[in-house]
Amino acid sequence: MKINRVLAVGVSLLLAAAACGGGGGAKPEVRIGSDNFYESVLMAEIYAQVLENDGYTVTRSFRLGSRQERAPAFTDGQVDLVPEYVGSGLGFYDATLVTGDGATNRELLQEEVADLATVFGITPGEDTNAGVVRTDTATELGLASMSDLAAVQDQLRWGLPPDCDENPLCKGALEEYGITYPPAQRESLAACDVPIAEALNGDAIDFAWLCSTQPAIAQYGFVVLSDDLDLQPADNIAPMVRNDYLETVGDADAFQALLDAASALMTTDELTRLGVEIAVDQREVDEVAMEWLTENGLLTAE
């Protein structure tokens, strides 16, 4: 009996405190995490600023690691919200489910994490695996799409990730495009990384797996070969929020609407442009995020 009374007092005090802190509605502190590369940090920062603008207190735990390290941090409840790539995120749970359509990937990812989290609306912009060549190679050999590679495969030095053998999106996709795997001249370099882009630019390889929004593409003027058979998964970005956090937010729909409004304006071109500003021009992420949000009228006071 006594315990119940103490609990009741405690709960009512908590409720009172929450009501006072929120200024109209309860706005509990939100802990936002991100992966350890610029694009994930940028999206996390954008979501953080949108929420701060709406009166939430944000704790930033950015650069938690790659998905392997970040996913457990999210699952264990160390962060409440992370930007997630819906294709790769789905692949983390079940690689066989991944499709070439972002909206489908989002729905499937939502099913996978239903007990834990809610996946909000996706960005129209996507960051996919992209086969990339130098301009001189593209001109010389007449390369525009992945299908053009088969005819000249023996003349090329291939930069492929070390896990290509087991990755259906790498080995499988190359074979679909008529490339004999493994190619005779191959360097093992992680996809979407700095060394593979440097190696391509420095003429140590002729083909590289990069990410479609990677700043090096714009920086060095690489040619992205079109994925004409649509084999690569659509990796649109969406905020993924823990359900137990959403329950503490007074109006979960309003909370989602805030973030969806920002996601809806993030196109592939914008992702690439902002990426160049951060990774090439070395501008601060929070500045770039604030500038973009302001330009798009997303930081206006309530």
In the chain, the amino acid numbered 217 is I
- Binding residues (CB under 8 A) for other proteins: these are 68, 159, 161-163, 166, 187-190, 193-195, 198-199, 201-205
**Sign, Cα dihedral of 163, 169, 175, 178:** negative
Judging by beta carbons within 10 Å of its beta carbon (0-12, 13-18, 19+), is residue 100 exposed, middle or buried? middle
| Whole-angstrom distance, CA of residue 26 vs CA of residue 6 | 23
Closest approach, Cβ 279 to other proteins, in A, equals 13
The three-state secondary structure class of 73 is helix
Cβ-based nearer residue to other proteins, 71 or 238: 71
**Which residue is it, tokens 């690691």?**
65
| Whole-angstrom distance, CA of residue 130 vs CA of residue 145 | 11
Cβ-based nearer residue to other proteins, 179 or 199: 199
Task: Compute the chain's Rg from CA coordinates.
Answer: 22
Cβ-based nearer residue to other proteins, 204 or 261: 204
- In the sheet where 207-211 sits, what is the strand order? 186-188, 158-160, 207-211, 129-133, 223-224
Give the residue among 7, 26, 6 at the shortest CA–CA distance from 16.
26
Closest approach, Cβ 205 to other proteins, in A, equals 8
Cβ-based nearer residue to other proteins, 186 or 283: 186
